[in-house]
Amino acid sequence: MKKHIIGAAVALGTLISTVSMSFAEELLVPHLTYRVGPFAANGTMGANAITDYFTMLNERDGGIGGLKVNPEECETGYNAQKGVECYESYRGKNPLMHIPNSTGITLQLLQKAPEDEVPIFTMGYGLSAAAKGETFPWAFNYPASYWSQMTSILSYIDSETGLKGKKIAFLYLDGGYGREPLPLLDKLEPKMGFETVRIPVAFADSQNQGSQWLTIRKEKPDWVIMWGWGVMNITAVKEAAKTRFPLDRFIGNWWSGGHVDVEALGMKAKGYKASNFTPAGRDFPVVQDVIKHVVSKGLTKTEPDMPGKVLYNRSLFMAVVMAEAIIEAQKLTGKANVTGADVRKGFEMIKLDEARLKELGFEGFTPVIGSCADHEGQGSIFVQQWNGKDWEKITDFIPPMTDIVQPLLTEAADAYKSDKPGWKTQNCS
Amino acid sequence: MEILHMIFIAPFLDMVALPDLFFQGLWDGFVGGTLYALLALGFVLIFKASGVFNFSQPILMVLAALALVSFYEMGINPWISVALVLLLMYALAYGVERVILRNLVNQDGNILFMSTIGLTFVIIGAAQWIFGGVPRSMIHAELGFPVGSSEWPMFGGAVYFEHIDISAVVLASSLIAILAVFFSKTKIGRGLRAVADDHQAALSVGISLNQIWVIVWFVAGIVALVGGLFWGARSDVSFALQIIGLKALPVLIIGGFTSVPGAIIGGLIIGLGEKIFEIYWGPMMGGSVEGWFAYVIALVFLLFKPQGLFGEKIIERV
């Protein structure tokens, strides 16, 4: 019996030391991916870019703080239930953060993050109200929330044609992601004097939008704003051209402005616009480093012509923000093998200003300045236009209407926590 | 009172106020309906021959379209690419018969149905592995189909006709007509109908079940290729196309699972119905109604004609 107890203790000790060694040996950064399913084309590009960036850091710098990064993938097929299963599978493995890569999955995970003390990072997607760090200490949506983006787009429209008295068709994917800006539009319409016609596109009708565009033809809007994803985007641009809607009055959000959305249409999509915060191009030093250390060496599944595309560069940027949070956490704690709780603080200390962006090879991308209270960074966007061959940046950075968005975000954050007794907040004053 | 006006008056006033838009809706619905009929035809053929609801029909469409574009991208002549896809469809039909149908003959229909679900995922995995998941452009222009559009002025407005849509209607209608004649007038067609009626009786009079299955799956592959060609031209060629394929379900419920004319009529009812309802009644309900409206129409038909408009009435003796 005594032998058995000693044996069990030795086995347990070995197990514990193995587990702690594995914590110390690598920085686990799981990201939920969708390489299969209807959005696979976009998902594959994003997954590759995140993995490529960390592979590049491992190859070029030996990882972060001397520890290799393990950007482990878990396949969700863009399905919320599978996303939750993936999340659960990382319990006890010391993940430094979670990257849901889907607004639907994010909404499921928001309540789990405070319990598990692992931050959730949703760059350019997720719940807008998560921008309020005091209410959502464990969620981050740098560099801007959907709501901030919408106000920047409205500012652009205002600068082009004026906004007051205008009719705007809002064409959106009928799901958590597409519906996200609706409460904001409810508030802004009477305040700013424009009218919206909301036109949802069911996921199943993404490739069959004839009716939606006939509705747009009937309503004769001055502008169309699109919150689309995947094949919905290219179909919408095709339908817009088919219904003779002027493409320079059709503007997509940052998930509707990838190369994959227009490249196949070429000149037929000329004039179409989209917001963005991550410029396209292969000349950025960071893209060149990824090509040199990863793509050229065959250490990736990335096709050679993918680096430099809008969505690829965006996911590289996502990865650099993740890496910066880890670096800040390491600085803060003085140790390399940080935890999710440390990285959460790291996210709040991020200072990706223009100088740091240049140093990292991302000059021209939207700066990300974090804080305890502000988890979105209130970043600016620019507008790009398809010239038939490539995206062209046509504006400077357009800041969000902070004075309008911030009180609404606070209101939404308060509403979110109001029916969740025991919700963990933090005091940033 | 206002709601009654919105339902019974306003949509008709809109139709009168903008007749060009109404005719555009009819045309778009007609094109969509013809393509739905083509999708449904693929299901009908296999159901007639083996009593199986072929869940893999939509992914067959994706596979055919992806293969066509991929062969072309390899530098192969577009029409030779078409021939290669037909060869691939035949190989697949032969493989399905040898590996699945032959081994599952006389099994319960649910088992055969499950096998087609399995086949769907095998094709998804294989196609993604071989062709990749990046969306591509359909090569309809390279195949010589006309591109561009014509504008017909009408009632102070205009109706736009995309040339590719006109091609789709002509080719899909011709294919449907050819298949209808083929299966009603030829020996193989009679064999198919015999197999559909009674496997064992068909076998006893010398009809080769295996041969019929290969032919029918191959024809379903041809239908998938034509469907993939035109649906791909309307948006792009990606795995998301398979979702469109499931639009055939309400068409089948309306037309009947065993009827070629039923697939045509069902397709047109759904195509026209959903389009007009979405444009004129959709906004009142928050939009995005055409997806479920197709099933509402199907449900109404189910209540009054459970076998569909042209489906065979099943009489089971106890």
Whole-number pLDDT of residue A59: 97
Number of helices (H) and strands (E) in chain B: give both, helices first. Answer: 15, 2
Q: What is the mean pLDDT of residues B12-31?
A: 94
B29 found inside a domain: yes
Tens digits of residue pLDDT in B113-131? 999 999 999 999 899 889 8
| Of the candidates A214, A149, A219, A156, the residue with the CA atom closest to the CA atom of residue A185 | A149
How far is the alpha carbon of A211 from chain B, nearest alpha carbon, in Å?
6
A chain contacts of residue B162, beta-carbon cutoff 8 Å: 242
> Distance (Å) from the C-alpha of residue B217 to the closest C-alpha of chain A?
25
Whether the CB of A185 is below 8 Å from some CB of chain B: the reply is no
What mean pLDDT is predicted for residues A391-402? 96
User: B254-282 pLDDT, tens per residue?
Assistant: 998 888 889 999 999 999 999 999 999 98
Average pLDDT, stretch B209-228? Answer: 92
A10-32 in b/e form (b: 16+ CB < 10 A) is eeeeeeeeeeeeebeebbbbbbb
Task: Determine, yes or no, domain membership for B91.
Answer: yes
| pLDDT beyond 60 at B309 | yes
Asked if A197 and B283 come within 8 Å (Cβ–Cβ), the reply is: yes
Tell me the percentage of chain B whose pLDDT exceeds 90.
Answer: 54
pLDDT at position A12 is: 52
Q: Is the pLDDT of residue B99 over 50?
A: yes
Q: Do domains A2-142+281-379 and A146-276+383-407 have the same CATH topology?
A: yes
Q: Is the pLDDT of residue A15 over 60?
A: no
Binned at pLDDT 50, 70 and 90, residue A221 comes out as very high
Q: What CATH number does the domain containing B237 carry?
A: 1.10.3470
For residue B310, tell me if it sits in a domain.
no
Instruction: Give contacts of A234 with chain B, Cβ < 8 Å.
Output: 135, 235-236
Average pLDDT, rounded, for chain A:
92
Question: Do the domain assignments include residue B316?
Answer: no
Which CA distances in Å does A4 have to A9, A13, A36, A64, B30? 8, 14, 48, 42, 78
Where in the sequence is the domain holding B187, given as residue range(s)? 2-304
Interface confidence, given as ipTM, is 0.85
Mean pLDDT of A200-225: 92
The whole-number average pLDDT for the span A92-98 is: 96
Chain B touched by A44 (CB under 8 Å): yes
How many residue pairs from chains A and B have C-beta atoms closer than 8 A? 120
| Predicted local distance difference test score (pLDDT) of residue B196 | 74
Domain range annotation of chain A: 2-142+281-379, 146-276+383-407
Give me the helix-helix angle, B209-234 and B187-197, nearest 10°: 100
* Residue A14, pLDDT above cutoff 70: no
Mean pLDDT of chain B: 89
Burial class (CB in 10 A: 0-12, 13-18, 19+), B179: buried
- pLDDT per residue over A113-143, tens digit each? 999 999 999 999 999 999 999 999 999 999 9
Rounded Cα–Cα distance for residues B262 and B283 (Å): 30
pTM of the shown model: 0.87
pLDDT of residue A18: 45
Q: How far apart are CA B195 and CA A424, in angstroms?
A: 66
Q: Is residue B107 part of a domain?
A: yes
Residue B162 located in a structural domain: yes
Minimum CA–CA partner of A44 in chain B: B133
- The yes-or-no verdict on residue A4 having pLDDT over 70 is no
Lowest mean pLDDT among A202-211, A216-225, A338-347: A202-211
Does residue B119 lie within any of the structural domains?
yes
CATH no., domain A2-142+281-379: 3.40.50.2300
User: B157 touching A, CB under 8 A?
Assistant: no
Could you give the number of structural domains in chain B?
Answer: 1
> Model confidence over A294-324: pLDDT tens digits?
999 999 999 999 999 999 999 999 999 999 9
Fold of A146-276+383-407: Rossmann fold (3.40.50)
Q: Is residue B317 one of the residues assigned to a domain? A: no
Residue A3: what pLDDT?
A: 53
- pLDDT confidence tier of residue A20, bands split at 50, 70 and 90: very low
Instruction: Flag whether pLDDT at A22 surpasses 60.
Output: no
